Structure 1
């Protein structure tokens, strides 16, 4: 089976797992007829893995590092969205805490990988 560079990266694999979990949340929020909120979460969480994969196709490490910076910033956006969801009782506190821990860890891994490129 052919594989792309990004598919071998732990940060991409973790981002995909997180995306799966949070797309389910977006579906649940959409059932509450909060369509804009659901789309915001979908876009932000998909941006994490999208930027890792897109950046891995760069011809320079500097360019790849820029994509990783965008990916890392998207983790912060997702935390913000989840904070709003938790405050609005769309998700419970324990789920919120679990996800923010995962996002913090992923953000740190992205940062460390980015530093290794420069």
Structure 2
């Protein structure tokens, strides 16, 4: 039974992705600190944060779903930043594929949660 946002599988996966990205960006050039590094950390953190905020409003069906949409938007933004990191050669193609696959898995779970959520 789901009692907390942290019980949601999609929350756990998105939080793990955010932490992995945080550690990954420690290897980015310092010149990216206030641009790419900041943006990708912010957008990946926003995925799990929006799930949590929406869960807090779950008794209002439309409100919860709205935050799941915000979360999905942050996920897509994060994928753009991953592309920049790959194309700037800050991450390898293998790393890109791993993180992109995790993002796709989170996206699928977000969609299922959105479609199947009952208030």
Common fold: TM-score over 0.5 = yes
Correspondence for 1:56? 55
Measured in 2, the distance between the counterparts of 1:61 and 1:9 equals: 16
Paired positions, count: 115
Q: 2:30 aligns with which of 29, 32, 55?
A: 32
Q: Which runs of 5+ in 2 are unaligned?
A: none
Measured in 2, the distance between the counterparts of 1:105 and 1:98 equals: 11
> Cα distance, 1:33 vs. partner?
2.3
Q: Which runs of 5+ in 1 are unaligned?
A: none
Give the number of the structure whose residues are more often helix, by fraction.
1
Measured in 1, the distance between the counterparts of 2:97 and 2:38 equals: 21
Q: TM-score, normalised by structure 1?
A: 0.91
Counterpart secondary structure, 2:97: helix
Correspondence for 1:17? 16
Measured in 2, the distance between the counterparts of 1:67 and 1:117 equals: 13
Measured in 1, the distance between the counterparts of 2:8 and 2:117 equals: 13
Measured in 1, the distance between the counterparts of 2:61 and 2:10 equals: 16
Measured in 2, the distance between the counterparts of 1:116 and 1:8 equals: 16
Measured in 1, the distance between the counterparts of 2:17 and 2:73 equals: 15
Counterpart secondary structure, 2:12: helix
> Cα distance, 1:37 vs. partner?
1.1
Give the root-mean-square deviation of aligned CA atoms.
1.5
